[in-house]
Every structure is written in C-alpha cells, then in structure tokens.
Structure 1
Amino acid sequence: MAIKKALRIKKKIDFDNIFSARKSTANKKFVVYQLPSQTPHFRVAISVSKKLGNAVTRNRVKRLVRHALMPLSANLSQTDFVIVCRKGVETLTFAEVQKNLMHVLKVAKIYHKTEA
C-alpha cells in the first residue's frame, strides 16, 4: 500500500511555503520541516540528497521512509511536512528507520500516539 496522491506534496509552491515557514525539527538521521495545513489530513514529501548515493540507493531510502510512515499515518496531525534524509540513513535497517522517524515526528509534535 502506497501513500495516496492526496497525501503527497509535489508542487514547488508548497515546498517553498513549508521551507519559508522556517519551522524545523531534527535528529541525527532526519530533518522535518513543517507548516500547519488547511486540509483535513497530513501531506508529506520525502527528500533524499544525491550525496546519499545513486538513484537506486535514494529510491530505496524513500521507499523505507514511506513504509515506516504508513503505520503512523492514523496518528499524524493535519500538517504539511517535508522529511529530509541525512547522511547515514542509507545504512539503516527498516526498524531503525522507523524508530528514528517516529522520534523526530514526536519531537516535532506531528505524531500523537492515541491511547486505545
């Protein structure tokens, strides 16, 4: 299952608005830039620099981040955010990516664990 089109950020103006808001949170592996959204759901973009490796490596990292994000999606606040992957993410396992991603989203107050 992929992240639906309505939940993705693709337009340059959306990226510019998020980056110009200058609200970011980081840990060792990810930086999250965020902007409160008017949509009833979150929207996300994943950015992986060419410094991390070739196209195969970058696409693998994006796929890992997308899959790590899916189980968290029910608990994400209505925010537009860009996840920037830092050097070292390409060597992590799926569990490590999920743990680091959850940590940075909690610190950014985007991920809110609901008690069931």
Structure 2
Amino acid sequence: MVKTHKEFSYIYRKGKNQHANSVVLFYLPQNGVHKVGFTATKKIGNAVKRNRAKRRMRAMFYELSNSLKDGTYIFVAKAGLFDTSHEKFHNDFKKVLLRAKAITA
C-alpha cells in the first residue's frame, strides 16, 4: 500500500498517467512490486463522498487485480465518478489500465 507523501510524489513524477472520465491512473512498472494507492481530492466533495469514491476504486481494483502486472498503481478519483454506472466505471477503469499497458488482456 502506498501511504506516504514521498511515495505518492515519486509515482506522480516518474509514472505514466492515463485519464478517463471518472478516474486517473498513475502507473510505474516495477518487477516484484505490487503496491497501490487511492486518493480523492477535496474537489470531489466532503469526506463522505471522498471515502465512497475510494471504496469504489478499491473494489474495482481488487476485482481486476488478478490480471494486473507488477508495479505501483495510484488511482485518483474524478468528479465524474459519482455520475457513472458500475458498467461505465468498470470500462473507464479497464481503459486506463489497458492504455498504461498494466493489464494482461
């Protein structure tokens, strides 16, 4: 799990980023490392909405985690996350992973 500001900053600087309507992915491929971080800014809303967004992203990550490559992942929630259905969010999530070449199709 990515927890410290230093780790987040490193991945933001060095990793590849991919955007979709509801989520942003920062991905840094690393052999033997499987770390993940989830974040939602105050632009999303109050603490209840931010926590709900992180829970949705966490659930989707664990749903797809078996087909992911080694590396460090940071998922950032966007405001569009609350307007999307589960299927659309699933497609956005897969789209950013495929673009970053972080998932085995």
Q: TM-score range by the shorter chain?
A: 0.7 to 0.9
Structure 2, unmatched stretches of 5+, are: none
Judged with a 3 Å threshold, the aligned counterparts in structure 2 of structure 1 residues 46 and 35 are, in CA distance, closer, same or farther, namely same
Is the 8 Å Cα contact of residues 22 and 92 (structure 2) preserved in structure 1?
yes
Identity %: 28
Shift, 1:81, TM fit: 1.6
- CA RMSD, Structure 1 to Structure 2 (Å): 1.5
Higher relative contact order (CA 8 A, sep 6+): 2
CA distance in 1, matches of 2:6, 2:67: 26
Is the 8 Å Cα contact of residues 30 and 86 (structure 1) preserved in structure 2?
yes
TM-score, normalised to structure 2, is: 0.88
Aligned length, in residue pairs: 105
Which one of the candidate residues 23, 35, 43 is aligned to 2:28? 35
Where in structure 1 do 4 or more consecutive aligned residues deviate above 6 Å? none
CA distance in 2, matches of 1:26, 1:50: 18
TM-score, normalised to structure 1, is: 0.80
Query: Which one has the largest radius of gyration?
Result: 1
CA distance in 1, matches of 2:50, 2:38: 10
Q: How does 1:49-60 map to 2 (within 5 A)?
A: 49-60=41-52
